[in-house]
Structure 1
């Protein structure tokens, strides 16, 4: 009986390894759409990820949330949205550096000025800076030959903003 215990154990271990190999092959087959060498596969992934338009979709969403957070005087959430708007813009510029020149004024002036208005916790000041942001977005779109993508103040709240509470009374400007 002992003679069979060792070979049987080895067979189970080897068989388990083969099953593991099958699992690895099965998981690799999920990625068969990635063809070619490393460069070709990286290019395919980059195309799937999107260029600057993917970042602009996120910037648009963050801008809308930023606007409504400011209107609600929820300054912490406004700061959070501005921070992530900047990150999305920087990621887009990393993927499309040829757009960086048009974005410099926005990065160096508009974002810090808007941050200043959030830190001031002053709705009137914030609204002035948001209007400046809208104007700068439209100027940048004109410089990038996409003036037919206008930016304006949001008219309605996103579902996310409908679920975020307004600021506590002590944070609200009278």
Structure 2
């Protein structure tokens, strides 16, 4: 019985040593993965804003042509980019101001849902003004957004197919 107890104690002690080696191995792996993760590509604030600007322009032409399905799509693209800013650029002070456009976004979404062109135009103008207000509040007043005059892409038809 004493031999069995000694054998079990010895195995126990050996397995503790293995846990320590295993813990060190796992920690090394974690450190390596964290290092790789810190080196991966992360879109910058300007990249997100550039994408928003494109979708903002496309949204205008979709609404003007009463292509409500495309307008809704462009609204969702803007929302995805805003979510990306909050996820990947949370360290930027400007990110804290993003919420100031939520009311304008909601109103514009509502006008798209109602398929109301006049309401869309009014709410689009409000959204555009909200963007500029945010730019001013975050010391980017030199970045002025306007209602587009020409489509951003010549290879996209913004009219609905009947």
Shared fold (TM-score, shorter chain, > 0.5)? yes
Residue of structure 1 equivalent to 2:160: 167
SS of structure 1 residue aligned to 2:46: helix
Change (3 A) 1:152 1:165: closer
TM-score, normalization by structure 2 = 0.72
Deviations 1:12-57 (A, max 9, x none): xxxxxxxxxxxxxxxxxxxxxxxx9544433332xx4332111101
Q: Distance in 1 between matches of 2:38 and 2:47?
A: 16
Q: Does 1:133 align with 2:127?
A: yes
Decide whether the 8 Å contact of 2:100 with 2:134 is kept in 1: no
Q: Does 1:65 align with 2:58?
A: yes
Deviations 1:60-119 (A, max 9, x none): 111011000001100000000001110111101211223333111212x11111100101
| One of 77, 85, 96 as aligned partner of 1:101 | 96
> 1:168 deviation in Å?
4.9
Residue of structure 1 equivalent to 2:105: 111
Gaps of 5+ in 2: 1-30
Determine which structure has more spread, i.e. the larger CA radius of gyration.
2
Q: Distance in 2 between matches of 1:93 and 1:163?
A: 30
Size of the aligned set, in residue pairs, is 130
Equivalent residues in 2 for 1:1-174, closer than 5 Å: 37-45=32-40, 48-97=41-90, 98-107=93-102, 109-159=103-153, 162-168=155-161
TM-score, normalization by structure 1 = 0.68
